Structures are given as structure tokens and as C-alpha cells.
Amino acid sequence: MRKLKRGDCAILPLVLRRKWFDEIRLGGKREEYRACTPYWAIRLSNWDNAPAEHHVVEFRLGYAKNAPRMAFCSPWYTATDECRHPEWGEPDTLHYIIILGERVELEQEARDGRA
């Protein structure tokens, strides 16, 4: 697994429930869906346009401070009304599909500013 420095990445943090976190962790789910709303349009646009060497999606299992995390390089996202997996989202609504690339490890930055 490739290691990336957080400072070199544009990170899109997403919180998931256990079912979806485990599906992605085990490799059964290689894309993430989000509704096409103004909120997600802004978040995805800001992430996509961030000046960074890598664009990474970081999933967190729930909201706990020490929740398990995993990260994936994301080559791109798209908007579509075609839901390839209706059980993962609402099949008749417009949504974004965030494609997950290789799994990566994000190195934590030291508190004194050194990596």
C-alpha cells in the first residue's frame, strides 16, 4: 500500500455506516454514491479543484474521534441518473458516483510540523 503525506493530498472526508465501510474495505464496493444536491456539488467541486498532487477519499466508520479510517486515491467522479447498484442508492434520482482507485495510507503529520 502506497503512503501519501496528508499535505500533498486534497482529502474528501466521508463518514460511513459499518455495512458500507466493510463493503468497501473488503473490495466489494469500488464506488461511492452521493445525491446531486447543491451541498455535494460544492463539496465535490472544491475537492476536485484543490491544488494538490493527489485527490483522496478518506472514509471514517462513524463519528467517534478514534474511528477506523481508510483512504483511496480517486481518479474522478461523475453525475448520472443510472444507478448500477440500486441497493446502494436511490435508483431514480440524479447522483454523483465517486470512483475509488488504489487504497493508500495517509501519513499523519507530527504536531510540531515535521512529518
Inside any domain, residue 114: no
Cβ neighbourhood burial of 45 (10 Å; 0-12, 13-18, 19+)? exposed
Question: How far is the C-alpha of 90 from the C-alpha of 81, rounded, in Å?
Answer: 9
Q: What pTM did the predictor assign?
A: 0.85
* Residues 61, 45, 108, 8, Cα dihedral to 10°: 150
Convert the pLDDT of each residue in 20-47 to its tens digit. Answer: 999 999 999 999 988 888 999 999 999 9
CATH of the domain at 80: 2.30.130
Inside any domain, residue 113: no
Inside any domain, residue 26: yes
Inside any domain, residue 91: yes
Convert the pLDDT of each residue in 55-64 to its tens digit. Answer: 999 999 999 9
Question: How many structural domains compose the chain?
Answer: 1
- Beta strand pairing status for 54-61 and 69-73? antiparallel
Inside any domain, residue 39: yes
Residue 72: domain span: 2-106
Residues 6+ away with beta carbon under 8 Å from 31: 84, 97, 98, 99, 100
- Grid cell at residue 11: 482529502
Convert the pLDDT of each residue in 66-99 to its tens digit. Answer: 999 999 999 888 888 766 666 666 666 788 889 9
Inside any domain, residue 71: yes
Inside any domain, residue 115: no
- The predicted pLDDT at position 1 comes to 86
